[in-house]
Structures are given as structure tokens and as C-alpha cells.
Amino acid sequence: MIYRIDARIVARVNDTEVTDRVEDAVRNLFPDVEFERADGELVGETHSLERFSERLRDQEILDTARREFRKRADGEGFAFSLKKQAAFKGVINFAVGNPDELGDVEVSVTVHDPDVEAYVDHVAPPTEDGTPIDPDGNGTDGGR
């Protein structure tokens, strides 16, 4: 299956932060992102969430990811927010509630092919008892 997506990533850069460090934090989760520096923020674009998907599996937070993706999903794509502080450490922590002191990383994904639900299943597969299941309904070990 070939997936075609555009992901827009926006991270505010505070006066107390070094722009390159904020770039590095985002690249920890989205290594292929290409940035443009705007006034007080970084705006990036990537066409792959593969590393992000690997981190979701490694951290065993697929169900949480699916829930967060669905909260802000429509027929065109989905969006979610991440804690910037966690991204500095290469960790995914979804932002819920009040924005973090350093600000959140906003991600919006437009899915061109095949469709939003199929792409969500690719990035964060459905699980059974916390273990990803394959399309045939057989449990997998998620590469462990």
C-alpha cells in the first residue's frame, strides 16, 4: 500500500529557546521534516510519519494515539498536539488540556491516499490487549 500524506508541523519558538534546539526536538519525532522559520515559530512539512509510528509502537501508546487522532479527524485528515518538552527527549506525549509552558507542537495531517481511516490504521494500528493486530485479526508481537 502506498500512502500519500502532507503533514504540517508548527512549533512556537520562545524567546528563551534556541531555534535549532526546537528543530532538533521536532526532528526527533519527524526526521524528514523540512522547516521554514517564521516570526517566532517553525513551520515544517513532511510526507512521512514512519518514525512517529515507530515511536508509538515502542512506547506502546497506539490506543492513545488512535483516540487523539480521532478527536480532530474529518474526511480530509486529522490533527493532534504534542508536548514540546517531551519531544526534546524523543518521547511522544500528546498535549491535552492547557498548553505546556514551552508550548505545544501542532501537527495537521492531510491524507490524499488511500483514506483517513486506513492511514490512521497504518500509523497506529488497532490493538487487542495492547498488541497490534493485523488485518486478518491475528495478534502480532509488534516487532518485539
Whether domain 4-104 has CATH 3.30.1440.10: the reply is yes
Instruction: Name residue, grid cell 501508546.
Output: 61
- Give the global pTM: 0.88
Nearest to 82 by CA among 107, 53, 111: 107
Return d(Cα 82, Cα 106) in angstroms, integer.
Answer: 7
Return d(Cα 13, Cα 37) in angstroms, integer.
Answer: 10
pLDDT given for residue 99 in this prediction: 67
Q: Where are the domains of the chain?
A: 4-104
Return d(Cα 11, Cα 4) in angstroms, integer.
Answer: 23
Distances (CA, A) of 118 to 2, 52, 112: 11, 16, 11
Q: What averages of pLDDT result for each successive group of 10 residues across the chain (144 residues)?
A: 94 93 96 93 97 96 96 97 94 84 91 96 90 58 40
pLDDT given for residue 138 in this prediction: 41
